Amino acid sequence: MDVKIEESWKKVLSDEFEKPYFKILTEFVKEEYKTHTIYPEGKNIFNAFNLCPFDNVKVVIIGQDPYHEPMQAHGLCFSVQDGVQFPPSLQNIFKEIESDLGVKVPKSGNLERWAKQGVFLLNSILTVRAHEAASHANKGWEWFTDSVIQKISDKKENVVFMLWGSYAKNKGKVIDTNKHLILNTVHPSPLSVYRGFFGCKHFSKANEYLIQHGKTAIEW
């Protein structure tokens, strides 16, 4: 199947695109775009992949499913488009970065600048119906993104995985801890942020690890 995705990812995932579940998923998603308002726009479904080629991946952050209100989702977990108000979790992420590294909260919640530095911002589910959270859960995306995480774990070394909350932690069970750094804490949502996200220092820890392994730090 010819999937419009960045070339290095196409090579790594070529076997996945031929599996029966992915063909069924593709038909489902195409039909949903025809009959409902779906986020993100079709061209942005694989935005995380297109902005961060496989060879460039240094840090992986795992989210759940895309934002489901207008103008928010654009294919990168936790990120919103320019000019859009920060959702609470993103606000808390920026607060932790400021506390950890002294970096001021930016004007835009668009995290493309992270992706271009090697931060792979992967949602577990890549599409959603407008106003209906988790509406595309259990349709096949989770299998696909499990495989993506497995490929990164198997084929790369010294990647930092940030697993925030039990959902992401569960998703990270396939990661080889002998080759990679896993940073676990609670989700940055207002419900849990004070139970360990604030003060986790994941951003400085990630940079220290990258530098130790001969990679450039991320400008968070």
Catalytic positions, written as ranges: 65
- What's the first-to-final CA gap in the chain, in angstroms? 36
From the list 11, 9, 135, the residue with the least C-alpha distance to 73 is: 135
* Residues in the chain, total: 220
How many whole angstroms separate alpha carbon 116 and alpha carbon 59? 11
Cα angle vertex 121, ends 181, 199, to 5°? 55
How many whole angstroms separate alpha carbon 34 and alpha carbon 37? 8
From the list 33, 25, 125, 36, the residue with the least C-alpha distance to 75 is: 125
Indicate if the alpha-carbon torsion angle 121, 127, 130, 135 is positive or negative. Answer: negative
Cis peptide before 87 (omega within 30 of 0): no
CB burial readout 77-114, b (16+ within 10 A) else e: bbbbbeebebbebbebbbebbeebbeeeeeeebbbbeb
Q: Which helix (H) or strand (E) holds 38?
A: strand 38-39
